[in-house]
Amino acid sequence: MTAWNAGATGAGITVGVIDSGVQQDQPDLAGRISPLSIDIVSGRNAPNGTDNHGTFVAGVLAAGFNGFGTVGVAYNSTVLSIRSDISDCTDPTDTVCFASTDLARSIDYAVANGARVINLSIGGDGRLGTSFENALLRAINAGAVFAISSGNSTAADPEYPGRYASDARFAGAIIVVGAHDNANQIASFSNRAGVSAANFISAPGVDIISRCNGTSCFRGSGTSFSSPAVAGALALLLDAFPNLTGRQAVSLLLATARDAGDAGTDAVYGKGLLDIARAFAPVGTTSSPSASGGQVQVATQPGSFIGKAFGDAMVGQTALATISYDSYNRLFRTDLGGVYPSAPRVSRQPGTPVSLQSSAVQIATPSGATLSLTTSAPLPEPEPVVDRATPFTAPWLGAEPPREARLNIVAGRYGFSAWQGQGGTRSPFRSGSGDGFTALANADHAMRGAVDLGAFTLTGETGGGDRTALLRPVERDASSYARVAVSWRGREGSVNLSLGNLDERLGPLGAYLPSRSGLALPSHTRFGTLGGEFALWKDASLSGEFGLGRTALNGRLLSLESDALSSTWRTALNTGCPGWLPGCLGLTWEVSQPVRIESGTFAAELADVPLAYLDPVTFSIRRFSAAPSGREINYAVRSQHALPDGSVMSLEAVAIQQEQHRRGAPLGFAVLGTWRRIL
């Protein structure tokens, strides 16, 4: 049970059981009965009683964890038994009945002797009078709360005193409790929520086991036995969260009840079924205290993730253990590593081709410059069998159709290009070294200028893009990059040197951590890359690239003590095809490592987990490595084949070692094939 696993047993909480008395020598209640238990009826002095109803109720609430029988919901709580039944019942079918004046004195006695929760497994047709109502109000004003059974007459509304839950004078301090069976269906005998729906929940009340003595137990059904389950849940909450008031505990059980019947609050189940596990989970906005005195929301945002370059660095450590508070100001132990989700796995499926219709205009100026403008838009086509992209394979894409436009100006040695795209179209400038870093910007617009110096070419480029994810608003201009490069090309090959910057408002190296979130990690990365391609022999060439990056970031909770160093590299051998491969146009053998953090230390000044719930909050600086546990290496073989009908088939086999830079990750692999015909 969630509450017990959290250490909540009801210890230190006194629950008043106003009923027919409790057998003091009941084995399953040994050590649970308060010595202040009493018979409230004047002159009788028989707290044990002659009816077993009160003993059964107390067993549901507090039967001990003793190796036999059943276990009470709050098995370490203290039962303050107040016997208040009388024998001169007006209805001959009743064996136990109560006078409202005795009940009023019982409530006063319970509060005077420390009861924070009071259970009333009683019910009748009418109001209980001014004396009872005044006692009820005094108890509530003193901070006590009530669990009261709804009754067993199958009525549309609860009986009294349970119906007082819907009286404005007592609202928020009383839960009226119906009964449901093992199938979570309202019991046939149980009164329904009716007019008290906003303060009504249902708890198990059919075939309940209690009154165990070591060799035998008794079975019973009724809302009398569902009510103490709720009283026990209130005791668990007050034990686990000492800062809670009784009214807050009532509110929690109502707010976290599991919906049943008609959606929302309804006239049968009210708020729903008692769900102690949900009541022990954070409710509403969860925030963690910061050393500066503020609060930072720590809930995981839909679609968010840390950059793939960090691999499992966030989840593979314990340094981010801290505390957080929910909307009830309850303290919880929180591992912030769990709220920085890992990047989604890369989809290893071929993309669905999109047919674009292009229009081009070219203008030659008198000065010799050439200006060209090209626009592309999708042709009408049937719905694809496989989605072009999903929020997990491409979280920066919305539902826009692919479109793009490109402007080129060439004047002698000088050139200028501007590009705008949407719907997953790729930047035409992704060529040359540095693409491993600039691709992380997921650019949807870019500009490039170039100067041709013969064997050398100088280029300058800048671009950026918006980002969006499932259930999240679009983040405008979320990332941008700029790079300059010098390229040399000779008869035997080429060399390209690139230097650049990458700014990411949503997190480093491809992360998606919404900027409005307290977990956002705006970052700045400087990178340099060197790449080249050289001819080896006829129909064979070797190409490669190596890049280093330095990333700085400073989030509200998390920062880097010093810049994190990252690396990426790729080498490929392009060869001709052996004769036994039909129609083969060329083979590429490639080994690569995607961007990976090599070194760096995260630091965070976080609240320490206190030894005791109400201890003062202290802070300490935590440090852990930003580098992941493994290193992803991709091995790929690609080939292209000309088919007799003029179409082309591309084949690719990929093996992924330590995927997402996780040591021990199983070997991944994929075999892909695409076919296309150029019309």
Residue 35: which domain range? 2-279
Domain membership of residue 468 (yes or no) is: yes
Which pLDDT tens digit goes with each residue over 468-499?
Answer: 765 666 778 889 999 999 999 988 889 999 99
Which residue is catalytic, options 224, 376, 479, 487? 224
Q: How much is the pLDDT for 395?
A: 46
DSSP string, 409-464: EEETTEEEEEEEEETTPPPTT--STTHHHHGGG--SEEEEEEEEETTEEEEEEEEE
Residue 53 a catalytic site member: yes
Q: Which two tokens stand for residue 629?
A: 């546990």
Q: How much is the pLDDT for 380?
A: 60
Q: How much is the pLDDT for 265?
A: 93
Look at residue 386 and tell me whether its pLDDT is greater than 60. no
Q: Does residue 231 share a domain with residue 135?
A: yes
Mean local confidence (pLDDT), 31-43: 92
Q: How much is the pLDDT for 371?
A: 73
Q: Is the overall model pTM greater than 0.85, yes or no?
A: no
How sure is the predictor about 644, in pLDDT bands with cuts at 50, 70 and 90? confident
Tokens 């202290």, located at residue:
618
Q: How much is the pLDDT for 347?
A: 65
Q: Which range is least confidently modeled, 210-219, 520-529, 660-669?
A: 210-219
Q: How much is the pLDDT for 392?
A: 43
Q: Does residue 266 share a domain with residue 374?
A: no
Residues in the chain: 679
Domain membership of residue 466 (yes or no) is: yes
How sure is the predictor about 397, in pLDDT bands with cuts at 50, 70 and 90? very low
Residue 180 a catalytic site member: no
Q: Does residue 259 share a domain with residue 373?
A: no
Amino acid of residue 356: L
Domain-terminating residue out of 279, 302, 325: 279
Q: How much is the pLDDT for 81?
A: 95
Which pLDDT tens digit goes with each residue over 576-590?
Answer: 887 777 778 888 899
More confident site: 544 or 359: 544
Domain membership of residue 287 (yes or no) is: no
Tell which residue, 270, 210, 272, 275, has the closest CA to residue 237: 275
How sure is the predictor about 571, in pLDDT bands with cuts at 50, 70 and 90? very high
Tell which residue, 500, 589, 585, has the closest CA to residue 544: 589
Q: Which two tokens stand for residue 89?
A: 């019942």
Q: How much is the pLDDT for 254?
A: 97
Q: How much is the pLDDT for 678?
A: 60
Q: Does residue 260 share a domain with residue 397?
A: no
Which pLDDT tens digit goes with each residue over 218-238?
Answer: 999 999 999 999 999 999 999
CA angle 364, 366, 367 (to 5 degrees): 100
Q: How much is the pLDDT for 391?
A: 45
Mean local confidence (pLDDT), 608-626: 92
Q: Which two tokens stand for residue 164?
A: 């007082």
Q: Which range is least confidently modeled, 329-333, 605-609, 675-679?
A: 675-679
Residue 523 a catalytic site member: no
18-41 b/e with 16+ CB inside 10 Å = b? bbbbbbeebbbbeebbbebbbbbb
Q: How much is the pLDDT for 459?
A: 93
Which residue is catalytic, options 53, 180, 445, 661? 53
Look at residue 33 and tell me whether its pLDDT is greater than 70. yes
Which CATH number covers residue 128? 3.40.50.200
Q: Does residue 494 share a domain with residue 392?
A: yes
Domain membership of residue 482 (yes or no) is: yes
Mean local confidence (pLDDT), 1-11: 86
Residue 272 is classified by DSSP as -
CA-to-CA distance for 273 and 360, rounded, in angstroms?
A: 65
Mean local confidence (pLDDT), 20-38: 92
CA-to-CA distance for 304 and 309, rounded, in angstroms?
A: 15
Look at residue 424 and tell me whether its pLDDT is greater than 80. no
Q: Does residue 272 share a domain with residue 361?
A: no
CA-to-CA distance for 83 and 380, rounded, in angstroms?
A: 81
Q: How much is the pLDDT for 548?
A: 96
Which pLDDT tens digit goes with each residue over 463-472?
Answer: 998 877 656 6
Asked if residues 656 and 667 have their Cβ atoms less than 8 Å apart, the reply is yes
Mean local confidence (pLDDT), 361-372: 72
Please tell me the total count of domains within the chain. Answer: 2
Look at residue 298 and tell me whether its pLDDT is greater than 70. yes
Domain membership of residue 669 (yes or no) is: no
Mean local confidence (pLDDT), 418-437: 81
CA-to-CA distance for 276 and 251, rounded, in angstroms?
A: 13
Q: Does residue 145 share a domain with residue 264?
A: yes
Q: Does residue 34 share a domain with residue 147?
A: yes
Which residue is catalytic, options 19, 85, 167, 326? 19
Asked if residues 250 and 174 have their Cβ atoms less than 8 Å apart, the reply is yes
Domain membership of residue 307 (yes or no) is: no
Domain membership of residue 322 (yes or no) is: no
How sure is the predictor about 214, in pLDDT bands with cuts at 50, 70 and 90? confident
Q: Does residue 167 share a domain with residue 68?
A: yes
Q: In what order do the strands lie in the sheet with 295-297?
A: 295-297, 287-289, 321-325, 331-335
533 Cβ partners below 8 Å, 6+ apart? 493, 494, 541, 542, 543, 544
Domain membership of residue 314 (yes or no) is: no
Q: How much is the pLDDT for 300?
A: 67
Percent of the chain residues topping a pLDDT of 90: 56
How sure is the predictor about 337, in pLDDT bands with cuts at 50, 70 and 90? confident
Percent of the chain residues topping a pLDDT of 70: 90
Which pLDDT tens digit goes with each residue over 128-138?
Answer: 999 999 999 99
How sure is the predictor about 393, in pLDDT bands with cuts at 50, 70 and 90? very low
Asked if residues 285 and 299 have their Cβ atoms less than 8 Å apart, the reply is yes
Which pLDDT tens digit goes with each residue over 133-161?
Answer: 999 999 999 999 999 999 999 999 999 99
Q: Which range is least confidently modeled, 52-56, 262-266, 642-646?
A: 642-646
More confident site: 512 or 388: 512
